[in-house]
Structures are given as C-alpha cells and as structure tokens.
Structure 1
C-alpha cells in the first residue's frame, strides 16, 4: 500500500511534455509547493505539510521519475533536466489554479526549485532550499577524499547501463544506505515510511539514475549559462542546511549569496532529512520566508 499525507487529497495532474505527476494537496490559503529529495517521495513532507496547511494550500508532488509520478524513458538529456522538471511543477500548480506560488525543495527537489526560480521568476514568489548547493557549485566543492561523501553522484553520472544494473541488483541496500548514513535521527523515518521509500526507489532505478546523470551534463550547462549571463534569483530565498561548508572547506553562505541577493542562510543541527527530523524548525523557517 502506498503511503501518503493523512487528510490530504491525492491527485494526478499534467506536468510538461505529457507527463503526469501524482501529488498530495491540502489546506487553504496562499499556495506553497514542497518538492521532495532522494531517496524519498512527497511523504517526506508529511509533518511540515500538516503544520503549514492551516494557513496555506500545500501541494506536495512526486517529482517525475519518482514515487507515483510518471517515469518516462530518458530518450534525451532533456527528459530529466531540472529545467524540464521545473516546468512540470509550474504546469502542475497552474492545473490547480495557481499562477504564482512559493516553492520549497529538499535535496533533488531543491535543485528543481533552484532552476524554477531562475527560469520562472514571475511564477515563484518565494524560494526555500534545504541542504544543497546549486549543481554547478556542488561539483566545484567536491574534491579529494572529501568527495567520497558524494560517491553516488559520480556513480550515476556514468553512461547508461552499468549504474542501473549495479543499483537494481541491490536496490534496498543501495537506497537504504543513504537513509542510514544521512539521518541524524533514524527514528524520524519509521519502519513503514522507510519501506515505502525503498519500494518506490527500487521501482524507479532508471529514472532516478537519469535524474542524477542530467546533473553531470545538461544541468551544468544551464547553470553555467546563467552564471555567465549574471542571472540571479530575484525572490526572497531561505537556505537551511547542515554545515557542509565546514566539512568540505568552503563558504556555503557565500556560495548562495552569489545566486540569491535576498538571502536568509541558516544552519541546522538536524541531519539531512531535516523536514522529518526537525519539522517545527523547518516549518518555522518556511513561515518566516513567506513573510519576507
């Protein structure tokens, strides 16, 4: 049985290029779209979404290639480019009647949110980012032995075939290793939720790999083009992340400030799965963002 957010409606709506996205929708008020990360589904927002739904219409989709959303074959790099995935989110919100909305993403979803903020500044009113740096900067800060923390990025950047075969051969062990290693509080992901993440991820190996592979190719090209053009995020931006700068030897706030002049940068003591480990903190950060 697929788990979802209690009390929310469950819908399927069009994204870009004929792809349909599954989403949980609840609450009322100004719209907020929440995008999940890896190796998760929209279920990761269950605690935060309930906290926001008293004042906002909260929309939690599964990204294309994940969860219950369509998983098109990666016939080109564009299929899982963050530009395409951002267009999905804009189309989904429009189908629900929202031409402008706040957008918050975690991990992979944060990279989609970042791209949406650059490509659709007239649509994204506020932008929240949890525990990433932009794709271009991510590759720049991973070097030497410290890059081992991101070994999966290098594995899934390889040409099609071998990564998919290796991961599918031991999907539960592969995806489960990240749930174990990245969680500051493993109890925040109870057994039934963990099982749902593993089930959904094992069923989506080719599309998950394609998503990551795009970040070693076309996503880099898009970020570089924006950097060269001097593009920045025009809306208020809040970034909440672990102290990766100290761990990997770079100034995380400065990295984000270069892209987001109107920046609120926060460090957390929670682990990577902060929306589940510290939902009050994350819901509070989002509520603060929406008042800016």
Structure 2
C-alpha cells in the first residue's frame, strides 16, 4: 500500500515550518504503512550546515572523523563536515549509507511513522523541501535499509508507492554496469536507475520518461533533487496521488487528507496527476 508525501516550499517565510508541516503530512499517511517510515529534508541548517557535506548512516555509531560533527539519533547518525561529499563518504567505509549530499538529510527506520517523527525531532526541522514515505512492506524485509526514501545519488532521493514487476531484470542490467545495491527492495532499483540516468547527463524529465518505458508494474513516484521536485505515475495510474499548488508551495500526497493542514489549502489548485506525465517544479 504505502503512503507518499512531499512539500516544495516557494515562500522563504515558510522554511522554518518545513518540519512541522511535513510531520503532519507524514503522520496522516500512517494508515497506509505503519511498519517503517522515512523522510528527506533539504536545507536544514543543523542537519546540513551550509558549506558542509552531510551523510546519513544507518548505524548506532560511526568512527571519529577529524572536523566532523555527529548528530546521534539512535539507530541513525547524521554526520557533517567541511569537506567534499566524496571525502566524507570515504571516511565511512563499509557502513550502510541512507543519503548524502550538501543539502540533503535522510532519516528512516522501522516503527510507526509518528514514533519515528518524534524520535528524529522532525517537527523542529527547517528547510525548503521535504519528502516522506510510510511503508507497508511487500517486496522485501522490514528493515531500516528497506525503508524509503532511497537516496543513492548526491542530494537525490526517490519514494515509491506500488510495485515494479521486472525489477529483478533491471537490477541485473544495472549490476552489469557496476551498480551496487544495498537491499532487495524493488524501489532501490528505480532509484538507482534514475541516479544512473542523471549521472549520464540526462535531466529529470528524460530520466523519468525512460523509466516509464523500461519498468513494468504500477507505481507513483516522487523524485527530489537539490533544485527540483517531480512526480510521475504509470500508464494505468491505479495508485492514488493528488497534487496541490499555491504561490507559496507545491505539495503531493497519496491522499488529500495529508494536505488539509497546509496553509492556504483552501485557495490551492488541486489535481490528480495524469498517467505517465512528468510533473516537475524547480527551485
């Protein structure tokens, strides 16, 4: 089943409220998936300080790194340091990485979405963009690594509601190109496919059009990058999705009830995304 939420803020006056608004949206989707959850936050000044690389590690501890600061969230560690992202990753060898970049912080784990949001202190988060997911596991084990979002490229992440029927075949093709996987989740295949396309020089619209052509199944995808926020559904569009847009923000969720607490929702343009049409908004 699963639930997706996303919020792209256009009005800087709302940046201090990102965590508060995202928490409300995520918790409204708890009934769509209560076994695990995760969020991706862009631009939080504590989790991702300007001029620092940030890496989220799914582990109870990390090795000491000169110049780095570690935010201990139990089973999740947020590490940031004034160095290139690649250098920070190289100092964390062999550890399960949930996300990395200069603006992106990913937090995910096993448990009820409301409990996880509280443990992460999500309501206090700030920033300009956030993505969230509540999971009802169907394709792989209930583990932190199997939870969404999947953030496998710098400042990139993907959340997914649905199922890819041919993910095993595409996984083999990607492995033949040297792509390494961290889980058996079909969503990771989609995330790594998009990341590979972006690394090859495609833009997000081209990458998602290619995904629609190659992946079989039923799905709604929300893909975020350091400057954009995109939504696409499969050709049948059987998984629910709704988008709301105002001058102050753009939001997406699996159900409308996740949007009702947003400021100005009464004046929003609300619509259901069309099948296989790419919707993208840029910062």
TM-score interval for Structure 1 and Structure 2 normalised by the shorter chain: under 0.3
Larger RCO (CA under 8 A, 6+ residues apart): 2
Superposition TM-score, scaled by structure 1 size: 0.26
Superposition TM-score, scaled by structure 2 size: 0.27
